[in-house]
């Protein structure tokens, strides 16, 4: 709370600025249709951000909305609030970023209608290809402790990392007072998301590296509540990512391996 003395007429009055109280009282004039959920991406050697964002380097993690940059080696702390697997239908890359032709849910049988091509992609009879995509709705906590929501999508070569991450989440166990154990909700856990340079058939590229930090502590109860609320917003459909924002090539000048 801040107090500022100001003169009105011949009287000295004190004006009070209480940002927190007013935020609770007045809320926001914007709804979800006015906002864009940030996408968290790893910058590649030919990412456009390297030319347009000061300090951007390949291997860094990049927030597409705020344009915040995070050191890939140091990484950031993330809490997975919700997870969705989808199948995205893409036209062959023609040098420009496009939205998916169609998005299929995890229950779809669309992969049964595809055949593998020379690049091991799942190709439909119309020559479009299907990309299995694992999507994470996360809270990102930077080194200063500030927290913000983001969308993290993994496909292609990053699927191995995504499947391992999913396995780690499912294997977390917490012991109860009676000695029994249980697998806690995913948004109770913190992970370190960093990057490393990987060699593949298409050459070298930057990929994700994920390690488990541990459970949220009692001192982080407010962060747990925030993660829970974000999950509920995602699962209810209040929070989503538009198709034209999810292109794997939206932030690069050439196709990336994931």
Plot region of 4 (φ>0 → left; ψ -120 to 50 → alpha; else → beta): beta
- Report how far residue 256's alpha carbon sits from residue 152's, in angstroms, rounded to the nearest whole number: 15
The whole-angstrom distance between residue 129's C-alpha and the CA centroid of its chain comes to: 23
Q: What is the pLDDT of residues 169-219, one digit of tens each?
A: 999 999 999 999 999 999 999 999 999 999 877 789 999 999 999 999 999
* H/E segment holding residue 227: helix 221-235
Q: What is the pLDDT of residues 102-123, one digit of tens each?
A: 999 999 999 999 999 998 899 9
Residue 248, C-beta contacts closer than 8 angstroms, at least 6 positions apart: 131, 153, 155, 156, 255, 256, 258
Residue 14, C-beta contacts closer than 8 angstroms, at least 6 positions apart: 3, 4, 5, 6
First-to-final CA distance of the chain: 47
- Report how far residue 176's alpha carbon sits from residue 227's, in angstroms, rounded to the nearest whole number: 22
Low-confidence ranges of the chain (pLDDT < 50): 249-258
Residue 169, C-beta contacts closer than 8 angstroms, at least 6 positions apart: 80, 186, 189
- Report how far residue 166's alpha carbon sits from residue 134's, in angstroms, rounded to the nearest whole number: 10
Question: Which contacts (CB < 8 Å, 24+ apart) does range 168-172 have?
Answer: 168/210, 168/212, 169/80, 172/212, 172/215
pLDDT of residue 186: 97
- Report how far residue 21's alpha carbon sits from residue 7's, in angstroms, rounded to the nearest whole number: 24
pLDDT of residue 18: 77
pLDDT of residue 240: 78
pLDDT of residue 251: 43
């Amino acid at each position: 709370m801040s107090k500022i003395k100001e003169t009105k007429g011949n009287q000295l009055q004190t004006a009070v600025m209480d940002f927190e109280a007013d935020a609770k009282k007045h809320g926001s004039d914007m709804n979800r249709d006015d906002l864009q959920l940030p996408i968290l991406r790893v910058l590649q050697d030919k990412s456009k951000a390297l030319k347009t964002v000061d300090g951007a380097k390949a291997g860094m993690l990049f927030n597409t909305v705020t344009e915040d940059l995070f050191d890939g080696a140091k990484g950031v702390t993330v809490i997975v609030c919700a997870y969705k697997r989808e199948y995205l239908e893409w036209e062959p890359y023609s040098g420009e970023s496009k939205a998916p032709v169609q998005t299929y849910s995890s229950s779809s049988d669309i992969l049964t209608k595809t055949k593998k091509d020379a690049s091991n992609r799942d190709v439909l009879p119309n020559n479009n290809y299907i990309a299995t995509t694992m999507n994470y709705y996360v809270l990102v906590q930077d080194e200063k402790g500030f927290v913000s929501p983001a969308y993290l999508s993994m496909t292609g070569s990053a699927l191995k990392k995504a499947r391992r991450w999913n396995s780690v989440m499912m294997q977390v166990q917490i012991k109860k007072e009676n000695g029994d154990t249980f697998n806690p909700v995913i948004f109770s856990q913190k992970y370190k998301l960093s990057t490393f340079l990987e060699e593949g058939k298409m050459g070298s590229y930057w990929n994700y590296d994920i390690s488990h930090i541990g459970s949220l502590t009692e001192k982080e109860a407010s962060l747990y509540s925030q993660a829970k609320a974000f999950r509920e917003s995602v699962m209810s459909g209040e929070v989503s990512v538009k198709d034209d924002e999810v292109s794997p090539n939206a932030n690069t000048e050439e196709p990336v391996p994931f």
